[in-house]
Chain A
């Protein structure tokens, strides 16, 4: 069984069909990329999986759970973490605090134990810190640990967002344009990190990305979308040479 399965998912905003009868599945341990021109519905697919939107028809299953039956805040509990296209960090908090929020789904304490900061809460906090430090090491964020997000450069924020998603210890990581706005060097770093996330941590990655260099460099399979529908699905080379994909990007030769 696949880790994530979307089946005949359709989402409409008024008269506009944002996602049109889309089906695909992501296997455990692969890097799966979604590409397509602007407005193709790529980010909308992410927001469907995060349960920010509810589709008109279709089903979304993750790891044996029917996501459509759950609230948005429950999705993370099953092991889905995500980043956002327009960075959504907690601006007035430090990098460390941001990552510690990622540990929220593993919270075993409640209001009363936290009010008195009992030894069990202390132990849990130390464990969270250990876990978060591993990720800080992994993504080379040591220099920014105590810095507030509000003063950090864009490239670092992008990495912090990936780090925060990893701090939830997910099974599936959704990356929404991880390389947008990054320099060539930073994009190369991101490429190695995505590779390591899959290989070392064993996390399945689903990403939306425009940078075809990055997409063909790391992904096993690529889904091309246009106008909310599936154009092509296959290896990066197959998709890049697909006539329908070329037409969607470049238009028809007259």
Chain B
């Protein structure tokens, strides 16, 4: 077991615990940079897809994982980010300006929507945001003039510092663009979590009453969280649009919202790692299923039978299993395994068990 001796407050303020942990993360980033030279175009595309999902997951994690507000409407913000980016690029705005602008627009719209929506709690907020996601579909059709409606739109080629970035033409460049954005957003996220704003999110999640008593404006904090969440989701949406190449009103359906929420629950709520773990599951599961379907088909002698809804059935089952057996998600499971090895042979089964909380001051609401 590693014991970290602390002699300086900076050791707690740094994002990494010690040199060992820092070198692990640097290795991971190095591996991500080398990846395009190791994998073929297909696998690189899948990797890019996972990173985009992870980015969207980071967006929802701010709101659901850290501020405790469930949202089933984030596909609407993916769509908004995607369309905003494409429309700006088509209007002649350089991608390097259009892309962050798409995030900011989505964030501002999210913040405005949040002001009435966040008066709702728990399941009611989930229903309201789900309605938003369904509405987004109709709004895209109604505003056909800008969005192309049912016919959809095609992503124009974009240019970053004179380099053409295209999903099919230059998959490596596109991968690096996505990787760069994901790393920058993750660093910003880490910075927020170690500052007063990140702590006020957690405070609002765990006890609104005492957050208020500590001088935190709960409504304002929730709105800011919603805004940040939507901005990051908008960035992910813009990348998703470029990745898909073509999209219409059905690309960002309410199913995507549900998948997104599932992803962060499976990954582990309330941790940055969770967004990435969840994205790996959501991103690779369809490929894994189709490969294993072929394999099973070959084994039992049947040909490739299409089973409608198989993917969603399995997604749902995985989600139920996680909620029943591992509410802390994959990241929680990883923490447990790590603690088991660190404390061997002193790990106790109930070490991570959630205790029943004492009486809560609910009357004040």
Chain A residues engaging chain B, CB cutoff 8 angstroms: 47, 50, 52, 71-77, 81-82, 84-93, 96-97, 100-105, 107, 109, 111, 114-117, 121-122, 125-126, 129-130, 133, 150-151, 154, 157, 164, 168
Contact = CB atoms under 8 A, between A and B. Distances in A.
B214 interface: yes
Contact of A130 (B9, B12, B191): B9
A4 to B, nearest CB: 16
Contact of B206 (A81, A91, A102): A91
Nearest to A122: B13
B355 A73 contact: no
Given A109-B196, A117-B191, A50 B213 contact: yes
Given A73-B217, A104-B216, A88 B209 contact: yes
A1 B215 CA distance: 25
A73 B204 CA distance: 12
A152 B191 CA distance: 28
B119 interface: no
Given A97-B202, A125-B195, A84 B9 contact: no
A89 B206 CA distance: 7
Interface in B163-215: 188, 191-192, 194-200, 202-203, 205-207, 209-215
Given A103-B196, A114-B191, 19 more contacts: A72-B213, A76-B215, A84-B210, A90-B202, A90-B206, A91-B357, A92-B270, A93-B203, A101-B203, A101-B211, A102-B214, A107-B196, A109-B195, A111-B197, A114-B192, A114-B196, A115-B191, A126-B9, A130-B9
A115 B354 contact: no
A105 B214 contact: yes
B155 interface: no
B224 interface: yes
16 contacts: A47-B364, A50-B212, A50-B213, A77-B215, A81-B214, A84-B209, A84-B213, A90-B206, A93-B199, A100-B196, A101-B199, A105-B214, A115-B192, A117-B195, A121-B195, A129-B13
Given A111-B224, A130-B9, A125 B209 contact: no
B360 interface: yes
Contacts of A52: 209, 212, 364
A93 B195 CA distance: 14
Most buried by A among B188, B196, B355: B196
Contacts of A105: 214-215
Interface of B: 9-10, 12-13, 188, 191-192, 194-200, 202-203, 205-207, 209-218, 224, 270, 354-355, 357-361, 364
Q: What 4 A-B pairs come out closest when comparing CB atoms?
A: A76-B215, A114-B195, A90-B206, A88-B210
A71 B221 CA distance: 14
A125 B10 CA distance: 9
- Say whether chain A's binding surface is mostly helix, strand, loop, or mixed: helix
A91 B359 CA distance: 13
Given A107-B196, A115-B188, A125-B195, A84 B361 contact: yes
A75 B200 CA distance: 16
A150 B354 contact: yes
Contact of B207 (A47, A89, A107, A150): A89
A81 B216 CA distance: 12
B13 A86 contact: no
Contacts, number: 126
Nearest to A96: B12
Contacts of A125: 13, 194-195
Contacts of A150: 354-355, 357
Given A90-B206, A114-B196, A125-B194, A73 B361 contact: no
Contacts of B212: 50, 52, 72-73
Contacts of B357: 91, 150
Contacts of A71: 217
Contacts of B361: 84-86, 88
Nearest to B191: A117
Contacts of B188: 115-116
B205 A92 contact: yes
Nearest to B220: A73
B188, B215, B359 interface centre (most CB from chain A within 10 Å): B215
Contacts of A133: 9
Given A97-B199, A97-B202, A121-B195, A154 B214 contact: no
B200 A104 contact: yes
A115 B190 CA distance: 8
Contacts of B213: 50, 72, 75-76, 81-82, 84, 88
Contacts of B194: 117, 125
Contacts of B360: 86, 88
Contacts of A100: 196, 199
Contacts of A86: 358-361
Contacts of B10: 126
A154 B358 CA distance: 9
Nearest to B199: A101
A102 B13 CA distance: 17
A116 B198 CA distance: 13
B108 to A, nearest CB: 13
A90 B195 contact: no
B215 A73 contact: yes
B215 A74 contact: yes
A178 to B, nearest CB: 15
Nearest to A51: B212
A96 B364 CA distance: 26
Contacts of A107: 196
A52 B224 CA distance: 22
